[in-house]
Structure 1
């Protein structure tokens, strides 16, 4: 497996390791009802998180690789969330992230989004990136707008969880529209 590591000014996105500490870090995110309330799945227990890490490692071995599930490390090296990029065809992918609740409000989601855009556009040579968020998750919508994503519309009944159907807002960004990561200097021509 090729080891992927993306570094921003404060955060690092990296491959998962199947250790009890990594599973516990993922569980701190996926096991928190407040953190997952806007996600298309419900609260996961520790065993579910262990199974997820195993799936992430298996997906990293696939050729060609289409799923990138990466741990998000804070400036101290502590895992505080998850970043995801999933190729949907030869030129497009969907991205997203989820962060531990005690890290919210620090600008981490914007940095993760920029790192995922760099992975998609610069490393993988994709043309289109898409992201979805719960209509009630206004913070995620703001992160996407700041990163240059454009609102495309509402997807009705996109997911089913907690006994009900939930809509999603769809955003996209094309390679020529991406100015590059905000810490990389002036926008590209």
Structure 2
């Protein structure tokens, strides 16, 4: 298995483990209606989250690995602390991938969204050698749009009726970043120097399906 562990100034992205604590932490994110209102699915139940982590672990074992579903942990909380969110990078075609994430509601507004986006960019460009990263957002999620723009992503346009949720067709806005456009954050080990550049948090980036 291609183990992934990435650390920024305040956060670490790491592999999931199938434990009751991990399931409860994921349920605190994906089971919250306010958090998933910008995502492609209805709130998950506890058993749904257990099934999701089992799927994440199966995806991580596949060769070649094409899906990276990672738990988001605050470094200051300690190694055994529950995750505060979930992040995803899904390879899609020739050196391309979709990224997304969701954060627990009590951690919004602390600048974590920009750091997670930067860590996923580091995974995609510096580690996996990708050429293009893309992200789809709810057009009403203006905070997410600001995070992507500050990370260097360009809005490509509106995808009409991109997904169906609860019987309603919903549009998405698509953003992309190319490898030569990527500029690591000042605190990213992929770039010399220090300091961090916090940005507003959205409720959630759209997690790739």
TM-score by length of 2: 0.87
Paired residue for 1:118? Answer: 122
- 2:176 aligned to which of 156, 172, 178: 172
> Structure 1 stretches of 5 or more lacking a match?
none
Paired residue for 1:63? Answer: 63
Give secondary structure in 2 for the equivalent of 1:129: strand
- 1:143 aligned to which of 125, 135, 147: 147
The answer as to whether partners of 2:2 and 2:65 remain within 8 angstroms in 1 is: no
Write the distance in 2 (CA, Å) between the matches of 1:4 and 1:181.
Answer: 19
Confirm or deny that 1:31 pairs with 2:31: yes
Q: What pairs with 1:48-127 in structure 2 (closer than 5 Å)?
A: 48-75=48-75, 76-77=77-78, 78=81, 79-127=83-131
- 1:132 aligned to which of 114, 130, 136: 136
Confirm or deny that 1:2 pairs with 2:6: no
Paired residue for 2:198? Answer: none
How many residue pairs match? The answer is 187
Give secondary structure in 2 for the equivalent of 1:183: coil
Note the alpha carbon deviations across 1:45-95, whole angstroms, 9 max, x for none: 000000000000000000000000000001314310000000002310000
Write the distance in 1 (CA, Å) between the matches of 2:146 and 2:185.
Answer: 16
Give secondary structure in 2 for the equivalent of 1:52: helix
Give secondary structure in 1 for the equivalent of 2:89: strand
How many angstroms does 1:112 deviate by? 0.3
The answer as to whether partners of 2:31 and 2:45 remain within 8 angstroms in 1 is: yes
The answer as to whether partners of 1:16 and 1:22 remain within 8 angstroms in 2 is: yes
Q: Once superposed, which parts of structure 1, at least 4 consecutive aligned residues long, lie more than 2 Å away?
A: 184-187
The answer as to whether partners of 2:71 and 2:87 remain within 8 angstroms in 1 is: yes
TM-score by length of 1: 0.96
Relative contact order (C-alpha < 8 Å, sep 6+): which is higher? Answer: 2
How many angstroms does 1:186 deviate by? 6.8
